[in-house]
Structure 1
Amino acid sequence: MSLTVDRLLVALEPLSYPDRLKHLAHSARSLRPTDELPSLVAELAGRGTYERRLAAFAALVGRHIGFLAERLTDRDPVVRAYAMRAARTLPLPDAAIEAAYEDASADTRQRLGEVVLASGRTALAERLVPRLREQWGDHTAAKLLPVCSAEFVAAALDELSYALDSWTRIGLNFPDQVLDHAERDLAARPRAERDTSWRRYAEGVAAAVSARAERVLSMLERHRPDVLPAALVTRLNEFVAVDAERTVRPLPQPRHASDAARTPVRRTLVAAPAGGGGRHGRRGGRRPVAAAPQPGRGDPGRRILRRVREVAPSARRAGPPPPRSG
């Protein structure tokens, strides 16, 4: 095998970096994965830094999982990066990723967490959460919640919700659990503190609207905020599709008159179906409200648009809506 490695290195020497990787990939794929590839990788890995990096790339291309599973915390960042890529795309054992946390630096722990999230390793994430909480704190552990099971998330949110950096993926993956948690907190707070909770959960609640628009609308009716969070302003059209007249009621009361006729909030509702229309049809025998840019006098749609114009300044004070993610 030494002759094969030497010949490979000679062949690679004059090539540009992209051509060098292409040649190495072709060579790795042409070897038998049971013996020839592991021998090539092992001999390359026993040489210098350059050869160790070639070994890691060849192992990735040739799917030599055993070699890469042992290098998730390699001292060489290039070798480590190839191993991390393998953990995302190849069936590296959960045990290898779990073991890598033992001696991992803070940066490597972050990369390992990203691997767990990207590869959707639910069982591993649920084993890691209590361990990470004990060793490195709640913020590190909370990052893994988006790939845990619904039951696990429901049990963990009470203690870990404060440590979440982003609620969007949690809200998309677990709308019921996020809404249950948010509503418990809203119900427990005095009226004066309610807006604090709405701001805290707005991102997750907004993400849950796609699956639970009517439930979020009911929450807004029961726990009306003084200022509608910007994240929910961007979802107004989905509330209107459920029931336009109900959408108006939880909107904050205007603090002063303002001509905001051309605000994004108004455009949102003008473009959306109004009244009991949309996917729910007529509700309780109520006449659907026609959605029109210039509703006639006495039309409930006119009242809806006027109400949105009044509340729009409050939405602007709450800050610009975040970019939609998901």
Structure 2
Amino acid sequence: MISTADDLLVALEPLPHAARLRHTAVTAHRLAARDGALRPLLTALDARAPYERRLAALAALTGRDIEHLAARLGDYGDPMADPAAALAAVGRLGGDGGLAAGLLAVGLATAIGIRQNWPDSCSAALVALRRHPEPEVREAAYATVVGES
């Protein structure tokens, strides 16, 4: 199993963009299931160039590392005025039916919910993900406590 930034980057190298995102998301989800295994990867990726920092953000989303996300979201200013476009992306990702897209949807819905103080539209998107065909996505959606920031 991949556990270091170097291992992840080597595994991603030959893959097309969409497959890189999927692989990063699934790796982060699996590492997050092992207590404390995701944080070293996030820290190592964050210490690198912008591409790797973006991978860290994706990994934090899918690995549900709220502390990491909160630290990064604080760098982006005020909440977006209208989260509709981002929530539409949550809907498209969740509607894909796949594991990686579903985990991304849960992570994005959670990040938006925290950032926007859990508007009804965000809560509804997360509740919809609790009916996702993939058990791991349903589990991640159920594990998210709506309203907690």
**What TM-score does the superposition give when structure 1 sets the normalisation length?**
0.25
SS at match of 1:31: helix
Amino acid at match of 2:112: R
Amino acid at match of 2:59: A
SS at match of 2:51: helix
* Corresponding residue of 2:147: none
Q: State yes or no: 1:86 paired with 2:110.
A: yes
Identity of aligned residues (%): 44
1:72, distance to aligned residue in structure 2 (A):
1.8
Q: Is the 8 A contact 1:60 1:68 kept in 2?
A: yes
Inter-partner Cα distance in structure 2 for 1:56 and 1:30: 16
User: For 1:291-306, what aligned pairs fall within 5 Å after superposition?
Assistant: none
* Corresponding residue of 2:5: 5
Segments of structure 2 that go 5 or more residues without pairing to the other structure are: 77-85, 87-103, 124-149
* Corresponding residue of 1:21: 21
Q: Is the 8 A contact 1:68 1:86 kept in 2?
A: no
Greater Rg by CA: 1
Specify which structure has the bigger relative contact order, considering alpha-carbon pairs within 8 angstroms and separated by 6 or more residues.
2
Amino acid at match of 1:9: L
Amino acid at match of 1:13: E
Q: Is the 8 A contact 2:42 2:59 kept in 1?
A: yes
Q: State yes or no: 1:72 paired with 2:73.
A: yes
* Corresponding residue of 2:45: 44
* Corresponding residue of 1:195: none
Q: How many residues of Structure 1 are paired with residues of Structure 2 in the alignment?
A: 91
Q: Is the 8 A contact 2:109 2:122 kept in 1?
A: no
1:119, distance to aligned residue in structure 2 (A):
3.6
RMSD: 2.8
After the TM superposition, which parts of structure 1 deviate over 6 Å for at least 4 consecutive aligned residues? Answer: 81-84
Amino acid at match of 1:10: V
Segments of structure 1 that go 5 or more residues without pairing to the other structure are: 76-80, 98-111, 121-326
Inter-partner Cα distance in structure 2 for 1:84 and 1:24: 15
